[in-house]
Each structure stands twice: as structure tokens, then as C-alpha cells.
Amino acid sequence: MALKHAVLALIAERRGYGYDLVQRFEERIGPGWRLNPSAIYPALDQLERDGLASGTVRAGGSRRSPRVVYAPTPAGSAALEAWQLTADAPPEPVRAELHLRIAFARPEHRGALARQLAAHERDCAALLARYPREPGVAVALLDDAVVTRLRAELEWTARALRSVQQAPRSSGTRSRADPPRA
């Protein structure tokens, strides 16, 4: 799991607690990765269960929610090194909810699809406007990957929106933009 290893890398650089790790993750990765802050805690729990990290309660939290500072174990350092040296898996499949909506839409959903595509286009453009970030080799590489993907997503969205808007309303024949009927 990539998030688990990213968290492990953060605590290998410097010990940290949940909120601190979320902040450092977001600073390092940038706005293109939408991390749910609560996802850090299951990753930390998993690292502890696997013996890859250990947590120590420190001052600064509350009685109900003590601040636990995490550090890698020797096994965690070895696992992090192995993760960094392992060849990457094939690209992850594209699993966007918008794609499912398009695939299963009926002709009467064209208006809703057009609105969803327009909103997606606005969201991608807003995210793209947040780049580039501060210079640095790793940051530049990450930013380039995100910007390239966002530009491609914007191109596809514009084509999809035109296709949905230009498709015949309801003739007896289907066009390529018409989803299959059940």
C-alpha cells in the first residue's frame, strides 16, 4: 500500500504524530493528491501491527486523544528501503466515478452529464491553477506529472462535453455519444 510506505518514509525522515504527518504529506505531495486526513491513522496502526513503526505517547494531546509520536523500527527502515528499490507495478486502472456515470447514462441524462462534465472541468482547472509549487527536483517531477495528467483530463473533458452536448436528442438511432440502452 503506497500510503503506508509514504507515512513510513515521513517518520523515517523525522518522528511525527498524526496531524504533523498529514501536514508534511500534503506539503511534500501537493494539492494533486487528495488525502483524507483520517487515512493517516489506519496507516499508522497498520505500520505498528506489522512491526514497522512504534508509537510513544508524548505530552501535547488530550486525555481522550493522547499525542502519539511514531518512529520506524529497524524492520520498518528495511521495509522502506525494499519499497524504494522495488520495481513499480503496472499503472493503476482509471476508476473515476464520472466514467461510470457516462457508461451507464441513458439519453435523458445528457443534461446532468453535461453539468457534471462542466463541474469536472472547473475542478481540474482550479487544481491546475495551484501549480507549479516551490522549485526542487522532486517537487518539479511531481508537479510535472500532475500538470500533465490534469491537462490531459481537461482535454478529454472538453471533448466529452462537446460530444454530450452535440449528440442528437432522441432520434431512433444511437450515436457514439449515446450510452447503450438496457
- The total number of structural domains in the chain stands at 2
| CATH at residue 76 | 1.10.10.10
Interatomic CA distance for residues 12 and 71, integer angstroms: 7
Interatomic CA distance for residues 31 and 149, integer angstroms: 13
Which regions of the chain are under pLDDT 50?
Answer: 171-175, 180-182
**Pair 73, 102 in one domain:** no
Interatomic CA distance for residues 65 and 40, integer angstroms: 15
Q: What was the pLDDT predicted at 182?
A: 43
Cell of 58: 508524548
**Pair 102, 43 in one domain:** no
Q: What was the pLDDT predicted at 163?
A: 92
Q: What was the pLDDT predicted at 136?
A: 80
Q: Where are the beta strands (DSSP E) in 15-171?
A: 53-58, 67-72
| Identity of residue 1 | M
**Pair 76, 104 in one domain:** no
Q: What is the pTM of this model?
A: 0.73
* Exposure of 159 in the CB half-sphere (CA atoms within 13 A): 7
Answer yes or no: is 180 within a domain. Answer: no
Q: What range defines the domain where residue 102 resides?
A: 97-166
Q: What was the pLDDT predicted at 168?
A: 77
Interatomic CA distance for residues 40 and 139, integer angstroms: 21
**Pair 115, 79 in one domain:** no
Residue range 39-61, pLDDT digits in tens: 999 999 999 999 999 999 987 76
Which residue in 79, 83, 119 sits closest to 98, CA to CA?
Answer: 119
Q: What was the pLDDT predicted at 125?
A: 95
**Pair 36, 60 in one domain:** yes
Which residue in 102, 103, 136, 168 sits closest to 30, CA to CA?
Answer: 136
- Cβ atoms within 10 Å of 163's Cβ, excluding its own: 17
